[in-house]
Amino acid sequence: MTFKINTNVNLDHEIPAFLIQPIVENALWHGVEMSGREGIIPEIELSFDVDTNLNLLIISVLDNGRGLTKASNLKTPIKISEAKRQSHGLNILRERLRLISERAEFRLANRKDQRGCIATISLPYRN
């Protein structure tokens, strides 16, 4: 298993407890599920970035797991509030984000390179 953590900015910003855990756990579950097939080594990448134009902290978790199924793979990313079938962890995440801010958002989509999923949390960011 390979883990990468990227921070493209010098962050001095607190992230609420257990906000990232459900999406990392989801990436681990599906990444590990892929291991052993076709010699794929599970990889998870955690990235932090700031969109200074929108004043958002962007937290991304990428995996190289199986990706979303064709039935759930919409052309546009899924906002957690719009998903029809959700895990308990993602429901809890949705509620936490709602309590943080109306601007807080979670999206889940297949990676552009079709090698797994990308989960993204956007939070209001104050300099």
In this prediction the pTM is: 0.77
Condensed to tens digits (0 to 9), the pLDDT of residues 14-73 reads: 787 788 888 888 888 766 666 555 677 788 899 988 888 998 999 999 988 878 776 554
Distance CA 105, CA 94 (A): 8
- CA angle 108-94-56, nearest 5°? 70
**In whole angstroms, what separates CA 67 from the centre of its chain?**
12
3-class DSSP assignment, residue 37? coil
Chain segment 100-125, per-residue pLDDT in tens: 888 999 988 888 877 788 999 999 98
- For each of the domains in the chain, give its residue range(s) and CATH number, in order of start: 2-124 (3.30.565.10)
User: How far apart (Å, rounded) are the C-alpha atoms in residues 95 and 89?
Assistant: 10
**Inter-CA distances, 121 with 36, 40, 50, 93, 107, Å:** 30, 26, 11, 10, 7
3-class state of residue 30 by DSSP: helix
